[in-house]
Amino acid sequence: MPYDLIVIGSGPGGYSAAIRAAQYGLKTAIIEKDPKLGGTCLHVGCIPTKALLQTAEVWDHFLHPEAQGIHCQNPALDMPLVMSRKDSIVSKHAKGVDGLMKKNKIEVFKGFGRLKGGGQVEVIGQNGSQTLEAESVILATGSEARMLPGLTPDETILTNVEILRLQYVPKSLLIIGAGAVGVEFGSIFKRFGSEVTIFEMLPRLVPVEDEDVSRELERSFKKQGIRSETGAKVLEVNRTSEGISLKVQLSNGNVQEFSGEKLLVAVGRKPNTENIGLENTKVQLDRGFVKVNANQETAEPGVYAIGDIVAGTPQLAHVATAEGMVAVADIAGKPYKPINRNRIPGATYTEPGIGSVGLTERQAKEAGYNVKVGKFPFLANSKASIIGNHDGFVKVVADAKYGEILGVHIIGPHGYELIAEAVAAMEAEATVETMMATIHAHPTLYEAVGEAFNGVYGLTINA
């Protein structure tokens, strides 16, 4: 019997869409090419990386216990045990996704899903192929790491996949790319004990963030001993007996060689849109990404796309999930709000952490706003003193005329958590005045957010 919906891909966007469809009473199936459900985010992305970042934070406390009035002699980092902990977290949540499929009566097909047109989807598995039919299809096939031309991942040249398998801490780690993946792994392995050097072709680290945030991260990384070379072009990559050698043209025009034991290539991700049968449909692509309308539907009626393969939205797990909710609501005839690009939170789990939403100061000015900025340093926050983490600030970008909140940018302790208040405020169309009147508990880190809103009008109390 035909399905109401077939979802191709079981990452956060795919499995969440399938669950919501089942909740709406749609007969739903999900297709996954990998042995386990959960996609890149769960198995080789968000979850295992953040598990390592948590261990790195704890390890840092063991290395500097005197800051808490504690003496700790001869602490040891057991890397195989660290990786085992990470794997157990992934395994637990993979089983959780399996359980959710059973709970919601979603049929799971293991194999490679390929569109045949006319509502038909071929599933190519180990035991041959079969064809399913559905009224609607959601493409949630995700993305994979881009690799530099001529290079192949192995035990020395790594992507986000291979680096998560390391059973020891390399003496030195070279990283090409200073987006979220590059700076997060740099933050992890520096604290684990590696000598870390990051190369970024663009003028600054985390180039999608506000310029003040980029400068603060570079300053903090320098203090931690992480070398950052921005405006740097990698000219050659060569294997050596010790590992890897890079020839790099630096921002001043000089060419310099760098050697390391391992190389992480973190230059972005490419959408998985090849060989999925798009030629059998009217689906349109933009540089490999699928073009969709406001309800996530493609040019092929009944075929939707969400997540990393979608043109025009950031490749983030929570974006995929939100887009899945929109697509399923449209399919089921339920009300929904289309994705608002300026309401999507960004989160980078470095130390210090980064959280952001909305326009940067430069973007707001370029859009023609009369901008007012409020800024508050964590140095003046009591809770930051208590936890011994003072780096960073909260920055609010606002419209001077109406007090509209245009963007909020945080770098500092748990910045990726603190951004939640700003996202909710902007979604509710709260003004700066509303947030100034919002009572913030004391002592908390999120008091700094309230102070930054007061700072728009020069009314901070503690700085």
**Active site positions, annotated:** 442
Cβ–Cβ < 8 Å for 118, 281: no
106-110: Cβ within 8 A, 24+ apart? 106/18, 106/19, 106/22, 106/28, 106/29, 106/30, 107/3, 107/28, 107/29, 107/30, 108/10, 108/29, 108/30, 108/31, 108/32, 108/37, 109/29, 109/30, 109/31, 109/32, 110/31, 110/32, 110/33, 110/35
In Å, what is the CA distance from 457 to each residue of 371, 402, 436? 12, 12, 10
Sheet holding 353-358, edge to edge: 346-348, 353-358, 405-412, 393-399, 371-377
Q: Tell me the C-alpha distance between 104 and 211, whole Å.
A: 45
